[in-house]
Amino acid sequence: MNTLFSHRAIKVILLIFFLLLLSVSQSSQAHGSSTGTLAINLELKQQQGEYHPPYVAAWLENNNRKSVRTLLLWRKEPKWLKDIRRWWRNVGRKDAELVDAITSATHAAGSFPLSFKLTDDEQHALTEGDYTLYIEVVREKGGRALLKQKFSLNNQTQQFTLKETAETGAITFTVTP
């Protein structure tokens, strides 16, 4: 009788364990799929004369003008990061580890399709609310462009086009829940 009881108890415990495991797995998959995406088509213009690829930063700020996510940072020499003025004042000078983690090389002129999950710098899903996308482009012996566009995370797909500048072509971005 004890052996029969213990086999049944073990089966029940295992069944409960697997049901809990399945529940946690489904919950995490549902949570992962609730994180939206931000797709950007960034176009850097070809310049005449001596050309230096620009330093580029793109980031998101919340409604309180606090940076919640640096999406990209393209640079060559760290000493010139301060020339990406707005990003440097708000983010770069305060978080050297983040700078190291997200930095990649500069890119020559061209079109760059990019996609990011709508998470903060700690990879937590952004909450519904109002945000601003900033893109700052700075080029040695060239121009400077600071583009920004407000948007809302509200479970609706949104598409925006940022106007052309001396340094960039028209930039489009789409927010998908």
Residues 57, 122 within the same domain: yes
Tell me how far the alpha carbon of residue 100 is from its chain's centroid.
15
In the predicted model, is pLDDT for residue 126 greater than 70?
yes
Same domain, 111 and 26: no
Q: Are residues 48 and 14 in the same domain?
A: no
Q: What is the pLDDT of residue 174?
A: 97
What separation in angstroms does the CA of 70 have from each of 34, 62, 120, 154?
20, 12, 8, 21
Assess whether 51 and 80 both reside in one domain.
yes
Which pLDDT does position 33 carry in this prediction?
41
- Is 134 or 100 the better-scoring residue by pLDDT? 134
Residues 6+ apart with CB under 8 A from 66: none
Do residues 65 and 20 both lie within one domain? no
Tell me the pLDDT of the chain averaged across its residues. Answer: 83
Q: Which of 45-54, 57-66, 99-108, 141-150 has the lowest mean pLDDT?
A: 99-108
**Residue 58 CA to its chain's centroid (Å):** 8
Calpha distance 176→154 (Å, rounded): 10
Task: Give me the number of domains the chain comprises.
Answer: 2
The string of pLDDT tens digits covering residues 1-59 is 555 556 666 665 655 655 555 454 444 444 444 689 999 999 999 888 777 889 999 99
Local confidence band at 85 (pLDDT 50, 70, 90 cut-offs): confident
Q: What is the pLDDT of residue 28?
A: 41
Residue 155's domain comprises 35-176
The CATH number assigned to the domain holding 59 equals 2.60.40
* 22 and 64 in a common domain: no
